[in-house]
Structure 1
Amino acid sequence: MKIATFNVNSINARLGNLTQWLEAVGPDIVLLQEIKCQTEAFPTLAFETLGYQARALGQKSYNGVAILSRHSIEDVLEGLPGDSEDAQARYLEATIQGVRVAAIYLPNGNPIATHKFDYKLAWMTRLHTRAADLLKTGGPVVLGGDYNVIPEPVDCENPAEWQDDALFQPQSRRAFRALLHLGYYDAFRSLHPEARRAYTFWDYQRGALQRDDGIRIDHLLLSPQALDRLVSCGIDKAPRLEPKASDHTPIMLELRP
């Protein structure tokens, strides 16, 4: 089973890029972020034509997550539990072929001296609670998405550039590590602990892509039961090199049966 996560930065703007990538690579499950459309406007038919079922949780112009799957999507949970007042579309969870997956679009949190950073940290606390509950099920869990967290200095080309950014604040990184301390594993680092210049995002500005001035903020976190089945995990830079590309690129893992 191949599971990918991909922040598409507007599903309508990148639909051609995404369907091209799906046809070329053929993942079984894709966790999408920043679809930037309302739920009812999600282009389900385009994916059904390629053999994918689709579930989306969207909102107008911002955020939004979705799950594509070649298999039945069951027991869907829309929204991250813990705050009934939170209307932002950032979390979608489901079971596919016995694996519990979640598409996650964690808040950016900038500027750090505003309520946006407080919201980010509160959201991560809620995610920690949900992730702990999922571990208690004893089944394979894959939490994939744009975490908007640079875990370590090695995960960015120039750490000094990010010292005042919410993605690299000690509180953000500490909250990310807390998920690992629960018992989750960073799929990419589990197989590539020493990899450098392994990025999933390059800004559109200042020639970042051409200089390979990137960051690794898209992650696939695995429960121990999922880690036991992990065969491979890699970052596919090719979609970022296409015309009209998202500023993110996919990361994909494979689980054995």
Structure 2
Amino acid sequence: MIDSQTPARLACPILGLAIAAALAVPQSATAEFDETQVLIEINATDGDAGFHAKFDAGAWKEVRMNDPDGMKLLDEKAFANLRLQGLTENFFESAEPVCDPEDSEDDEPVVSLAEFISRFPAGDYTLFGKTNEGEHFAGDAELTYDLPAAPDIDDTDGAAFVDGDPVVIAWGPGEDLGEKCHDPDLIEAEIIADPAEVVVVGWEVVVEPADGDGIEPERVFSVQLPPGQTEVTVPAEFIETYIDVNDVEEFKFEVGAIEASGNQTFSEGEFCIVDEAGEECEEDED
């Protein structure tokens, strides 16, 4: 009921807002998502940060995501035959603008870590969906600011391995988020956790050719490892296939530190394959 003391000129706007709010609230959910996750990924080498989300459920036709403040971030709908078929697992990554203005090229956008986390507040991100049968389902995923330190890959970055010898990528725990995204003020203000103190629950290692142009198909070696494992041997078959078939001798790799909620920080490096011991990798002309 509208208060009789409410001026007439305000009555319609207030009523309109009430109707809009009612329409924005989904009906009571009768099921939950099978999986929901939101996380922050930082590339310490490139100096950028991105927001990732993953959700999975039975065949659905509509999904909406709200941030902890109730702001709608995503409204996804299937149409035509895709709607009839239904969607299930979904994963997306935001764009990843650089953190440091000095790394910006051709006036590309710059988003500092402080600005990034102001866009994506910590807390529960809620998801609402509707199945093909009209059933409503819901879920939530917590975003934290526990950002793990970038792995220390100095022992492997730039290494030259003799053709036929084992290629072992080794790393150690880091101390910060890399010189491009690290922000001591955020740590001092206790907005984000000290990266050096964030517990790593796993590592991810990815290896691929340094230059994949013209290689088809381009294959990638990827593995996830427990926290106590800080080195991995790249399968000889993976390396030799590229050397024998594609004449590839330079590879790039990345090592990611993963914390409990899924946040991850990657360090990137390169290594090469040489014919004899003592040879070094060619310097990048860039």
What TM-score do the two structures reach when normalised by structure 2? 0.27
What TM-score do the two structures reach when normalised by structure 1? 0.29
Larger Cα-atom Rg? 2
